Amino acid sequence: MERKHLDGCLVTNRVDQYYLTGFDGEDGAALVLPHRAYLITDGRFAEEAAIHAPWARAVIRTGPLAEAVGKTVRRHRLGRVGLDPAHTSVSMQATLRKACRPSRLASAPRILEQMRIVKDPSEVAAIVRAAEIAQAAFRTVVRRIRIGMTERELATALLLEMLRRGASDASFPIIVAEGPASSLPHARAGDRKIRAGSAVLIDWGATVDHYRSDLTRVVFVRRIPPRFRRMYQNVLAAQAAGIEAVRPGAAFSQVDAQARGVLRRRGMHKAFSHGLGHGLGLDIHEAPRLARSSEGVLEPGMVVTVEPGVYFPGVGGVRIEDDVLVTDNGCRVLTDLPKELDRMVV
Amino acid sequence: MERKHLDGCLVTNRVDQYYLTGFDGEDGAALVLPHRAYLITDGRFAEEAAIHAPWARAVIRTGPLAEAVGKTVRRHRLGRVGLDPAHTSVSMQATLRKACRPSRLASAPRILEQMRIVKDPSEVAAIVRAAEIAQAAFRTVVRRIRIGMTERELATALLLEMLRRGASDASFPIIVAEGPASSLPHARAGDRKIRAGSAVLIDWGATVDHYRSDLTRVVFVRRIPPRFRRMYQNVLAAQAAGIEAVRPGAAFSQVDAQARGVLRRRGMHKAFSHGLGHGLGLDIHEAPRLARSSEGVLEPGMVVTVEPGVYFPGVGGVRIEDDVLVTDNGCRVLTDLPKELDRMVV
């Protein structure tokens, strides 16, 4: 705040607010001042705010949120209050601006995103727990794959096993895509039945203590379809190159380029239609992005997915995804489910 | 668009985009012109866009979203393009504005919200299916409530039973709050164990074909705690009055006032700390709001929750919630789980 000449910072994004205060109410705004913080919420969350953020002063609004924010801002005669333009809607900004007068709202882009990008050890520990639960559930469920089972049944079983192990939720809607459906990088689980000789792409993760994991594996039912053999080996090689490139100081775009280069040399880069990976933590997609156009370099404590994929409409797709922590000297892969081609037959 | 002198409308909100096009991709924008529609998305969703919105022209971007939008807008030499300020972030608006020049972006507040507020029969049918699945799951799970079971176990069982019956997901994180925890209107399910003689508040719903249901029931384990008897009867009476008030032409605030009045006459209105209800459909909370400060009147085809509640910190809370369709002559309650006090003992 000092560097940006701000007298305070207003945080309206729910996840940012949880990050700052420990309070995860559906309604609320946090106003952070140099020596004090306010949580502005409504009556439904009054007790929760007191329990989860006892050190913050709770302001229980009865009127609109903006009015309560404005009143608090004006009471402190704040000159400039920062607001993240990426997490504030145009109408919310207009309403807040009016309510906070004569205090001014200043654009403070990505201020929380930049704080959240490097994880502290307790955050890494939560991501590791989320990864372990996702992996344990997968190991259990993959043994129960049967011909004729639907994608949805498999997804439900995976979710249930994660919940049983202490996940509060899946970290996003689980993708189970059988056969040609696997060529849709973001297919959901549907009524398609699992057939012998088909590839099943599974992209899933767990939310544990608010933190998330994110993995993808492709399994082959009974046997490996011939066309998938080369796709799989290429993606696996690209992923290895991507992980190899993860270290402090490496440019985000360079990590992407390392993996993409492997697919290019093998003539499959045109089928790799998305970025290599993304940060994960309280959100399933957060900074940094590992992509061609992404600017910045990796630092110790960042956690990213490395997930190259190739997709051929009508045929199918392969994606392999692991979660990787940037360490002082290189990286540590937080997920360790098998991924060698011959071990993927179920 | 005509009424607002717009040459086109740009829809960036995912749910609105699904409503308009049937395409539910994580990345995308829909540009709606009088006689044509574009879906602008990235390579990951190309195939999905073609499958789910074959009549829309797909624009597969390789650069940033705003650039691809701008190119399409400029190609049509559009004068004014509408954008919903409630669903556009400040930074997205700035980027789009630059990319669309010389076309101008005009504020088109709540244009989709107003379209979505009245449901057509197929939407009502989906909400009814979502309600039926939520109710069937509840009936199964409530019989399995045992002393010593945790809130989380109960929530997981409920989720699983909804998924088994064809829900794609819960419609929001299920709330199971035992004993005093029920005084937090938005508690989650935790490790608290269900005890004899306690109240358990359950707030849950299913998502089916993208549409959502939302119910709340309070059950009493073995016996009704004396302090809850009056709370329950008051809330039940308030809910009956609220439902009674749901009819075409009734002001949103008036429906709230009817229910609130019952609690006032019984001296419990101060414990009713939230609005009476909200619209539901593709989103779990959407227009209209039934609350004191809400402006507008009910119309046939609107679907709202009616959910008064009273909360006493340290003691507990009671909320009773059903989903109600406004019909031509009055209303139809879409949910029909028992709620008479004596039937709530499990």
The residue among B21, B13, B31 whose CA lies nearest residue B78 is B31
Regarding whether A96 and A150 lie in a shared domain, the answer is: no
- Measured in angstroms, the CA of B332 and the nearest CA of chain A are apart by 28
Q: What is the ipTM of this complex?
A: 0.79
Regarding whether A200 and A88 lie in a shared domain, the answer is: no
How are beta strands B169-170 and B206-208 bridged, if at all? Answer: antiparallel
Total domains in chain A come to 2
Contacts for A68 with CB less than 8 Å, ≥ 6 apart = A40, A59, A61
Q: How far apart are CA B22 and CA B43, in angstroms?
A: 18
Flag whether residue B308 sits within 8 Å of chain A, measured between CB atoms: no
Domain that holds residue B112: 8-116
For residue B159, being part of any structural domain is answered with yes
Residues A59-71 pLDDT 10s = 988 888 999 999 9
Q: Please, which residues bridge with residue B215 across strands?
A: B204
For residue A194, being part of any structural domain is answered with yes
Q: What is the pLDDT, as a whole number, of residue A28?
A: 84
Residues B90-116 pLDDT 10s = 999 999 999 999 999 999 988 899 999
For residue A101, what is the domain's CATH number? 3.40.350.10
Regarding whether A225 and A189 lie in a shared domain, the answer is: yes
Flag whether residue A88 sits within 8 Å of chain B, measured between CB atoms: yes
Q: How far apart are CA B82 and CA A155, in angstroms?
A: 39
For residue B237, being part of any structural domain is answered with yes
User: What are the backbone angles phi and psi of residue B342, rounded to the nearest 5°?
Assistant: -70, -15
Taking 70 as the pLDDT cut, the residues of chain A under it are none
Regarding whether B180 and B140 lie in a shared domain, the answer is: yes
Q: What is the pLDDT, as a whole number, of residue A161?
A: 93
Regarding whether A322 and A252 lie in a shared domain, the answer is: yes
Tell me the count of A-B CB pairs closer than 8 A.
102
- Alpha helices by DSSP H, listed for A86-218, are 90-100, 111-116, 121-142, 151-164
Regarding whether A143 and A291 lie in a shared domain, the answer is: yes
Regarding whether B184 and B105 lie in a shared domain, the answer is: no
Regarding whether A142 and A267 lie in a shared domain, the answer is: yes
For residue B288, being part of any structural domain is answered with yes
Flag whether residue A43 sits within 8 Å of chain B, measured between CB atoms: yes
pLDDT tens, N- to C-terminus, chain B (346 residues): 888 899 999 999 999 999 998 888 777 899 999 999 999 988 878 888 888 888 889 898 888 899 999 999 999 999 999 999 999 999 999 999 999 999 999 999 888 999 999 999 999 999 999 999 999 999 999 999 999 999 999 999 999 899 889 898 899 999 999 988 888 877 778 889 999 999 999 999 999 999 999 999 999 999 999 999 999 999 999 999 999 999 999 999 999 999 999 999 999 999 998 999 999 999 999 999 999 999 999 999 999 999 999 999 889 999 999 999 999 999 999 999 999 999 999 9
Regarding whether B193 and B110 lie in a shared domain, the answer is: no
Q: What is the pLDDT, as a whole number, of residue A62?
A: 82
User: What are the backbone angles phi and psi of residue B327, rounded to the nearest 5°?
Assistant: -105, 180
Cβ of A86 within 8 Å of Cβ of B88? The answer is: no
For residue B42, being part of any structural domain is answered with yes
For residue A151, being part of any structural domain is answered with yes
Give Cα separations from A327 to A119, A249, B91 (angstroms): 11, 11, 32
For residue B56, being part of any structural domain is answered with yes
Q: How far apart are CA A110 and CA A85, in angstroms?
A: 8
The interface residues of chain B toward chain A in range 142-201, judged by CB-CB distance below 8 A, are 152, 156, 159-160, 163-164, 168-169, 173, 183-188
Q: What is the pLDDT, as a whole number, of residue A187?
A: 74
Q: Which of B42, B91, B172 to mutate to test the interface with A (most CBs of A within 10 A)?
A: B91
Q: Please, which residues bridge with residue A220 across strands?
A: A199, A345
Residues A207-223 pLDDT 10s = 999 999 999 999 999 99
Q: Which residues of B215-241 are buried (b: 16+ CB within 10 A; e: fewer)?
A: bbbbbbbeebbeebeebbebbbbbbbb
Element (H, E) at B115: helix B111-116
Last residue of a domain, one of B85, B116, B147: B116
Flag whether residue B274 sits within 8 Å of chain A, measured between CB atoms: yes
Burial of A272 (0-12, 13-18, 19+ CB in 10 A): buried
Q: What is the pLDDT, as a whole number, of residue A54?
A: 84
Q: What is the pLDDT, as a whole number, of residue B147?
A: 96
Q: What is the pLDDT, as a whole number, of residue A246?
A: 98
For residue B241, what is the domain's CATH number? 3.90.230.10
Last residue of a domain, one of A86, A116, A146: A116
Last residue of a domain, one of B116, B137, B158: B116
Q: What is the pLDDT, as a whole number, of residue B110?
A: 86
Regarding whether A193 and A63 lie in a shared domain, the answer is: no
Flag whether residue A293 sits within 8 Å of chain B, measured between CB atoms: yes
For residue A3, being part of any structural domain is answered with no
Regarding whether B104 and B84 lie in a shared domain, the answer is: yes
Regarding whether A239 and A261 lie in a shared domain, the answer is: yes
